[in-house]
Structure 1
């Protein structure tokens, strides 16, 4: 039977909530997780097979930088990024083409917005290079290139099977209570921000005045 008039078409989803969750049809729309143990074992075997395939390289893949996620909601956290910037590689003295051959991810689109993140990733690269062992590509004493690790040090080398080659640092979140100093009481964040905005607004005018004054003196 139709509805008279231009009314809203009823679209109530009783079946998705409790329509078949009672009585003898209790499990009609319920998903089971009976193969949880089997899937866990399958994932474990897949990780072991992948690690054996890429041996002696790290099982986690390429080395990636530590970055802050975007937006105000998540930027206090740390996670792995896509790749290191060209400035970070330059600061760590690692050539761009050479970095690709030793398991370092590169992202030429990323930019360093502050010195702290730049130095943190440079230290990460230096730590990686200090622990890196380069296997010669081919057998024979004549095939050993400059920078390769001596064969005597490559016996019984353990593979890095961590989820991250170098784990992401976990910052200390707990702040112990202390007394507020007199300098902190006198300081005003509003005045500092206001001063910074004013300096930015009049920067061009002040630079022009300084340039004109220097031209008159000469």
Structure 2
């Protein structure tokens, strides 16, 4: 009757392998891997954690596999853009990341309406649609409408039947000379704001921009409660 090997007993080859993978963390390594205000990793592992080590010896082969998959996908969806669908420019949630602009999931119905695009037609010409997202500012609406119009100006629409082109399809010369677009579609670029130096005045020291923003957000949040409280006071008087 054979028994399972004792997990506390290691062979020398296993010990050398695990010793090379799991090495004590030096102060220099901590400085490299810890970013921002995050916790320094200091885990106390139990329950045979040595057998749960994840290795990364196939990094080069995985990189090659990803490249070949991208190449195969681009060939499968040709002559459509290799990057896929056009995405809107949206702001990240929360106050911390709200100033950053990134690519979103899809355009809103209001943005498509302003650009003169039917929502059913949008997916057929490579435009992503998000039925849940809503516009909360005029600036974001206008920016994405401009993005849609710029995309339409560069778009080449192939007819479903080459011998029977429909209204809205591109001319035969454009379809023959069309080349698949590689890379991101209308990449989102952030405009860099250059700050100028100035002498700090006593008036600047008296004001706190951080406090002003906090008060403005609080006033917006409790606007309804304040209005109701004032209305109740007027009724009592």
Whether 2:185 is the aligned partner of 1:165: answer yes
Match for residue 152 of structure 2?
129
- Distance across 2 between alignment mates of 1:70 and 1:89: 22
Change (3 A) 1:82 1:28: same
- 1:123, distance to aligned residue in structure 2 (A): 0.9
Answer whether contact 2:88 2:144 (CA < 8 A) is retained. yes
Match for residue 150 of structure 1?
171
User: TM-score normalised to the size of structure 1?
Assistant: 0.69
- Residue pairs, 1:66-215, within 5 angstroms: 66-140=89-163, 143-162=164-183, 164-178=184-198, 197=219
User: TM-score normalised to the size of structure 2?
Assistant: 0.64
Structure 2 unmatched runs, 5+: 1-7, 22-53, 232-237
How far does the alpha carbon of each residue in 1:82-106 deviate from its partner, in whole angstroms, 9 at most, with x for none? 1111111111111222212111111
Change (3 A) 1:154 1:111: same
Which of 2, 8, 15 is equivalent to 1:25?
A: 15
The alignment covers a number of residue pairs equal to 185
Change (3 A) 1:131 1:178: farther
How far does the alpha carbon of each residue in 1:187-212 deviate from its partner, in whole angstroms, 9 at most, with x for none? 98678967x959x6569x99xxxxxx
Change (3 A) 1:24 1:48: closer
Structure 1 unmatched runs, 5+: 1-14, 207-218
CA RMSD of aligned residues (A): 3.6
How far does the alpha carbon of each residue in 1:14-66 deviate from its partner, in whole angstroms, 9 at most, with x for none? x9xxxx9x998232272554432222222111111100000001112111111
